[in-house]
Amino acid sequence: MKLVIVGGVAAGMSAASQARRIDPATEILVLEKTQDVSYGACGLPYKLPPDERMEDLQVITAQRFRDERRIDVRLGHTVLAIDRAARQVVGRHADGDFRLAYDKLILCTGARVWSPPIAGLDDLWGQGAYPLKTLEDGRVLKAAVAAAPPKRAVVIGAGYIGLEATENLRALGAAVTVVEALPEILPWLPATLRGRVLDEAGRHGVELLTGTRVESIARQGRDLLVQTTRGTLTADLVLVATGVRPEAGLAADADLPLGAAGAIAVDDCLRTADADIYAAGDCADARHAVTGRSVWFPLALRANRSGKLAGENVFGRERRVPPVLGTAAFKFFGLEVARTGLSGDEAAPAGLDTVSIEVLASTRAGYYGGGGKLSVWLLGERHTRRLVGCCMVGPESAAHRIDTAAAAIQAGMTAEQLYDLDLAYAPPFGPSWSPLLVAASQLIKALD
């Protein structure tokens, strides 16, 4: 069998590696349009400081995949079209056009940076304004920061990458203004928990402008003038972190159906509408564990897991990809922020009658030094009493305690079943009654 994989980052190389484990004889060809494969894009903001190396994010080089796993990785190969009738992909590389046949095809094209309609931005890419999506983006931005450490930076977008980069730009000594078009940052967070993030930004001298759009960017001497709906900002550097969109153009042009957010629609075995074509990673949709609906979550675990399963299923296996909850966490200065399942605003459109509670509990035993207060928000469905959502914000333990909530939601646990869990206790890690158990107790009362 000849297996062709389009895209060579998380999902693509996971698919290729798993396919090689299953069948040593299969011809495996990976077509990657950039010069990098298999790297941890989530770590890009943390490699901006001068004592960090961007190259540390690369897990395995293309040459190692060729030498050690006998996977034919071709860099600088851009696939432009899929000829489904001929079972071929058509594309271009430095030496000209190519047309390659496949028996099975896996699309792992990932997600692309969404470039907002800002006048002047196109002329400043890489020359004052920067994205932060690929390893090459990281190299370019790091080189720019090293050559001229910014004194004033504007970050457009207050998502995970924008806020993580804000922390690291502040560590470099830059004054940072974050401009967010939405009325609030992190709209999935309850207001009280969001307030803690806003307070943290203020404590570290970060200016946050919400409900504000950037209209234009222009260079004036050494300065960048960032015109917003609330006035003009002056900066040395602009980071565009306005989010990503699924890279599903190949599939759409080949008349393959799309799902949530325009991602490639796949079944539980990651097949598209064409039985010979699979899709995995950030380019493909998923099924939500609570609602059962098509959703799109561009997250690392989903990408790696779905790639691995696609690499199995092309051989006729029926390994089903598990549904997702969008479980995620990030660090913002001294806070951990985490979520899983539905937010309050997402529950009603899904047809769920829900009730929510919030608690503030200690992250360590009262007599054990350090720690702080962890805010826990739980969302329960009134009729079934099952847990359907959770958010946490605190100085520690949020990023790991959220996993317990995710497991409870995925298992369909009720508030009572969550409360009955036998969770670990030791003074350095929490009080005898875990903050999650305290929250479950309050949810039980609210559901009665």
Residues assigned a catalytic role: 42
Helices (runs of H) and strands (runs of E) counted in the chain: 11, 25
Q: Quick one: CA dihedral 382, 383, 389, 395, positive or negative?
A: positive
According to DSSP, residue 335 is labeled E
Closest CA to 100 of 46, 160, 29: 29
Q: Please state the separation of Cα 147 from the chain's center in Å.
A: 29
Helix axes 435-447, 398-410, angle to 10 degrees: 40
Contact criterion met (CB below 8 Å) for 43 and 57? yes
Contact criterion met (CB below 8 Å) for 374 and 404? no
Closest CA to 268 of 285, 251, 282, 255: 285
Q: Please state the separation of Cα 352 from the chain's center in Å.
A: 26
Q: Which residue has the tokens 């030094």?
A: 369
According to DSSP, residue 263 is labeled P
Say how far apart CA 282 and CA 265 lie, in whole Å: 12
